[in-house]
Amino acid sequence: MRIEYDVKLDFNDVLIRPKRSVLKTRADVSLEREFKFKHTETLWRGVPIFAANMDHTGTFAMASALSAHQVLTALDKYLSVEDWKKFTKQHASALPFVAVSTGIGETDFARLDEVMAVAAVPFVCLDVANGYTERFVSFLENLRARYPKTVIMAGNVVTGEMVEELILSGADIVKIGIGPGSVCTTREKTGVGYPQLSAIIECADAAHGLGGQVCADGGCTTPGDVAKAFAAGADFVMLGGMLAGHDECLGDVIEENGRKFKRFYGMSSTESMEHHHGLVPDYRSSEGRSVNVPYRGAVKDSVLDILGGIRSTCTYVGAHRLKELSKRTTFIRVTRQLNDVFVPYVVESGK
């Protein structure tokens, strides 16, 4: 057994220090990025934020709404091939902004092939809870060999050496995060995890050294957290909870005591496993929770709020483009970040 005594940081352990800036207005800030990927010839341009590939947020309705803002959606892996067919016909313009998700199960490859046969999907999101297994790496190698021109995002991991291994095995983008998610209970159930801000900083460094990219996945609760993830070096940021509760999400609106909610559950929760597999096998425990999140209407308003926040961050540090944000960032270690004295009395949260 060993102990590392370096302090590792989370989003709420830091703030971004403002810097002298010549930017006149946040309208001058561009959040668009252009990427060439390590293993493909593809050139992609857009706003590098993903809706998470969860049942609730990774929907076709989400993909068409977010594509209007050049924002990406990683579609839920359980969507049917028939629905993919319909989507590509009805929303062809949204296609450049979606990823098809897959796991490493026995039927996953065949399912992915079927989707790829009906839709020219630019990204594949190879997603497992634990990206440290040999089986995962060999699945990734096979996937790369089979789809040489598709951008592959693979994860999740939280350490530089594994980021390097995944990039060398065929990943263009490595997804970072173990345990930070809003409906994730991995840290409670297993004691495993890594504070997300430090994970992003260390993994981005490893990935960029090899010409790869990282996607910070999980743990953002405010637009400020999303800005901190980019400032820490994330090329992409994936959001679940921050996009939950909207019209475009899966599930009906629930009314309780005059308030409206939508059901949001972790993809390793009992609810998800029972829904997709009929049961939770005896050898594993649930590593996710189910929550009723306040209903929030159209996702557009939340997206504009998030993008507006990041533009404002860029203005504070003098970054004309999102690309410059991490270079212009100095984080300061803090012991308190928000003043929440009136939180119990809020009438309008401004989302």
List active site positions. Answer: 184
- Based on CB atoms, which residue is closest to ligand 5GP, 212 or 219? 219
In the shown chain, the binding pattern of residues 198 to 237 toward ligand 5GP, with x for contact by CB under 6 A and - for none, equals -------------------xxxx-----------------
- Based on CB atoms, which residue is closest to ligand 5GP, 59 or 269? 269
Cβ-proximal residue to ligand 5GP, closest one = 288
Alpha-carbon distance of 46 to 63, in angstroms, equals 14
| Among 66, 162, 167, 183, contact with ligand 5GP (rule: CB under 6 A) | 183
- Based on CB atoms, which residue is closest to ligand 5GP, 269 or 329? 269
Alpha-carbon distance of 121 to 65, in angstroms, equals 17
Q: Which stretch binds ligand 5GP (CB under 6 A): 5-13, 39-47, 261-269, 291-299?
A: 261-269
Tell me the β-bridge partners of 155.
Answer: 127, 175
Closest CA to 228 of 344, 103, 118, 314: 314
Element (H, E) at 331: strand 331-333
CB 325 within 8 A of CB 234: no
| Among 12, 88, 186, 329, contact with ligand 5GP (rule: CB under 6 A) | 186
Q: Give the length of the chain.
A: 351
- Work out the angle between the directed axes of helices 196-209 and 223-231 (0-180°, nearest 10): 40
Alpha-carbon distance of 83 to 60, in angstroms, equals 8
| Among 268, 302, 313, 315, contact with ligand 5GP (rule: CB under 6 A) | 268
Alpha-carbon distance of 151 to 39, in angstroms, equals 7
- Based on CB atoms, which residue is closest to ligand 5GP, 268 or 315? 268
Task: Kindly state the number of chain residues that form the binding site for ligand 5GP, as judged by CB under 6 A.
Answer: 25
Residues forming the site for ligand 5GP (CB under 6 A): 52, 54, 129, 156, 177, 181-184, 186, 217-220, 238-242, 266-269, 287-288
